[in-house]
């Protein structure tokens, strides 16, 4: 899926640790240890960041590699004395509950960690002024959450004072913090790690990337993405049925994707009934001889219906000069491209005396809160297990990731230095163009 290439130096992939791991992994004592439990990952095993490097380059010291994820024979924390916490941040995403459950069960059954708490409503839960109580997490309390959508721990957006968060970690004696979230959460995780380090505390921060947009670098695919594409496909099918069921029918579907159009592109490929796919990475015009409105005239004249899929961050040049402000997380608010297209398309054809039947569908919040598909639940299980392995080994300031079909440890600092995008010249966008037959929607200068 990933086509972007980033220049990465070997020293950028070094994982921070709290100290030497000297305690025998409790998994060694489990019944059947010789049947799989005793297979541990050697610290020296690493995976190339870019698998397409020239194989004739034998200078391994100059090649950037990621540390391979998995259980270590020795761990840093004494599980019997460790208190771990889990926090979910940002917006809803399918699979959050499955991931929390996987972490809790792994801590409890594989490492015998008995003191695990959930932080309520994101980073607000660390701030005493909000008054959110911690939730005790046990195998019994998470037994049935994986079949639910949303987040049973609750979530919130917006920055919170890093010093107060670390104060709470100290006060609560939390030695291992699992942070589940997107780009903003990763940035907070990096700041929390830095503050912990500056205070000389022995507390670990392990992140698991969460974003439906799938725009975090050095992650093959974020959990919830497959579920989102499947749910989006159902919305597109509804739009297509509406469009073909009326003369000059137009189905317009707005999907997630502030800066990256992965959901829109993959949903388009999953159901090739889409005629126009609009994403943030590919420029397009509304008016003019090659603009969307003209191309729609041609499409309706030829076939009598049209289906448009637009990512929420597409076409933002149409809102230049608008004072949209920022959201609670500090992100620039986007112009609502969905309603803009709905109104412009309707007025355009009305002015020309052509009756159209446009149906506008925005399933975004429904998609975010649906239960995860089996594939995503399996994926969150692996992510949760590897996050626990890393945390118990004393790794910190890192993110667990699936990269080039291997689970690896990625420094958070490296993840937040880049953003993942659909390559307009890459195979994914070429496949979308081939599936839709979509011409260029950009007027020539």
* pLDDT tens track for 108-134: 999 999 999 999 999 999 999 999 999
At residue 173, the pLDDT reads: 97
Task: Quote the DSSP letter at residue 75.
Answer: E
What does the alpha-carbon distance between residue 379 and residue 228 come to, in Å, rounded to a whole number? Answer: 14
At residue 44, the pLDDT reads: 86
Q: Grade residue 57 by pLDDT with cuts at 50, 70 and 90.
A: low
φ, ψ of residue 413 in degrees (nearest 5) = -60, -35
CA separation, residue 159 to residues 117, 186, 347 (Å) = 21, 12, 41
Q: Does residue 285 have an active-site annotation?
A: no
Task: Give the least confident one: 145-159, 309-323, 325-339.
Answer: 325-339
C-alpha neighbours within 13 Å on the C-beta side of residue 388: 29
| pLDDT score of 138 more than 80 | yes
* Extended beta strands in 106-256, E state: 115-119, 135-136, 176-181, 204-209, 249-255
| pLDDT score of 32 more than 60 | no
Give me the residues paired with residue 207 across strands: 179, 399
φ, ψ of residue 403 in degrees (nearest 5) = -140, 120
Q: Are 192 and 177 in contact (CB under 8 A)?
A: yes
User: What is the enclosing helix (H) or strand (E) of 358?
Assistant: strand 357-361
User: What is the enclosing helix (H) or strand (E) of 254?
Assistant: strand 249-255
Torsion of CA 42, 223, 213, 207, to 10 degrees: -50
Q: Does domain 10-223+370-415 have CATH number 3.30.499.10?
A: no
At residue 111, the pLDDT reads: 96
Catalytic residue among 183, 213, 215, 285: 213
Q: What is the mean pLDDT of the chain?
A: 92
What does the alpha-carbon distance between residue 424 and residue 428 come to, in Å, rounded to a whole number? Answer: 8
Beta-strand pair 357-361/23-24: unpaired
Q: Are 19 and 394 in contact (CB under 8 A)?
A: yes
pTM of the model: 0.92
Q: Are 322 and 261 in contact (CB under 8 A)?
A: no
Task: Enumerate residues 6+ apart whose C-beta is below 8 A from 341.
Answer: 252, 292, 308, 310, 315
Structure tokens at 253: 């579907």
Residues 345-395: tens digit of each pLDDT: 999 999 999 999 999 999 988 898 899 999 999 999 999 999 999 999 999
Pick the CATH number of 225-368+424-436 from 3.40.50.460, 3.40.50.970, 2.40.110.10, 3.40.50.620: 3.40.50.460
CATH 3.40.50.460-classified regions of the chain: 225-368+424-436
Q: What is the mean pLDDT of residues 27-55?
A: 74
Task: Give the least confident one: 24-28, 116-120, 206-210, 386-390.
Answer: 24-28
Of the candidates 415, 388, 405, which has an alpha carbon nearest to the alpha carbon of residue 182?
A: 415
| pLDDT score of 329 more than 90 | no
What does the alpha-carbon distance between residue 97 and residue 118 come to, in Å, rounded to a whole number? Answer: 12
| pLDDT score of 55 more than 60 | no
Q: Grade residue 336 by pLDDT with cuts at 50, 70 and 90.
A: very high
3-state secondary structure of 332: strand
At residue 106, the pLDDT reads: 97
Helices 183-199 and 162-172: crossing angle in degrees, nearest 10, is: 60
| pLDDT score of 31 more than 80 | no
Q: What is the mean pLDDT of residues 90-95?
A: 92
What does the alpha-carbon distance between residue 175 and residue 169 come to, in Å, rounded to a whole number? Answer: 8
CATH 3.40.50.450-classified regions of the chain: 10-223+370-415
């Amino acid at each position: 899926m990933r086509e972007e290439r980033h220049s990465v130096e070997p020293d950028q992939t070094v994982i921070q640790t709290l100290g030497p791991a000297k305690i025998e992994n409790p998994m060694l004592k489990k019944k059947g240890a010789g049947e799989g439990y005793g297979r541990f990952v050697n610290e020296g095993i690493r995976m190339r960041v870019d698998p397409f490097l020239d194989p004739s380059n034998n200078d391994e010291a100059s090649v950037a590699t990621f540390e391979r994820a998995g259980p270590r024979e020795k761990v840093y924390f004494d599980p019997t004395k460790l208190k771990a916490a889990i926090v979910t941040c940002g917006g809803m995403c399918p699979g959050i509950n499955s991931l929390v459950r996987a972490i809790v069960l792994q801590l409890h059954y594989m490492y015998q960690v008995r003191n695990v708490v959930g932080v309520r409503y994101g980073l607000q839960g660390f701030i005493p002024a909000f008054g959110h109580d911690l939730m005790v997490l046990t195998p019994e309390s998470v037994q049935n959450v994986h079949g639910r959508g949303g987040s049973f721990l609750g979530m919130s957006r917006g920055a919170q004072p890093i010093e107060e968060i670390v104060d709470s970690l100290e006060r609560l004696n939390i030695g291992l913090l699992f942070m589940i979230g997107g780009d903003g959460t990763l940035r907070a995780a990096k700041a929390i790690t830095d503050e912990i380090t500056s205070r000389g505390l022995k507390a670990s921060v392990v992140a698991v990337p969460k974003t439906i947009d799938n725009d975090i670098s050095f992650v093959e695919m974020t959990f919830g993405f497959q579920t989102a594409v499947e749910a989006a496909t159902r919305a597109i099918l509804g739009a297509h049925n509406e469009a073909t069921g009326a003369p000059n029918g137009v189905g317009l579907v707005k999907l997630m994707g502030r800066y990256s159009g992965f959901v829109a592109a993959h949903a388009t490929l999953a159901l090739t009934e889409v005629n126009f796919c609009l994403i943030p990475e590919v420029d397009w015009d509304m008016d003019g001889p090659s603009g969307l409105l003209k191309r729609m005239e041609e499409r309706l004249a030829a076939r009598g219906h049209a289906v448009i899929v637009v990512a929420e961050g597409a076409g933002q040049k149409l809102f230049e000069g608008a004072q949209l402000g920022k959201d609670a997380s500090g992100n620039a608010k986007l112009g609502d491209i969905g309603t803009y297209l709905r109104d412009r398309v309707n007025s355009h054809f009305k002015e020309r005396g052509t009756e159209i039947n446009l149906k506008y569908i925005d399933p975004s919040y429904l998609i975010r809160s649906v239960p995860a598909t089996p594939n995503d639940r399996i994926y969150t299980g692996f992510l949760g297990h590897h996050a626990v392995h890393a945390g118990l080994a004393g790794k910190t300031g890192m993110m667990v990731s699936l990269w080039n079909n291997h689970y690896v440890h990625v420094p958070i600092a490296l993840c937040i230095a880049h953003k993942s995008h659909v390559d307009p010249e890459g195979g994914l966008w070429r496949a979308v163009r081939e599936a839709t037959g979509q011409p260029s929607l950009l007027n020539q200068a």
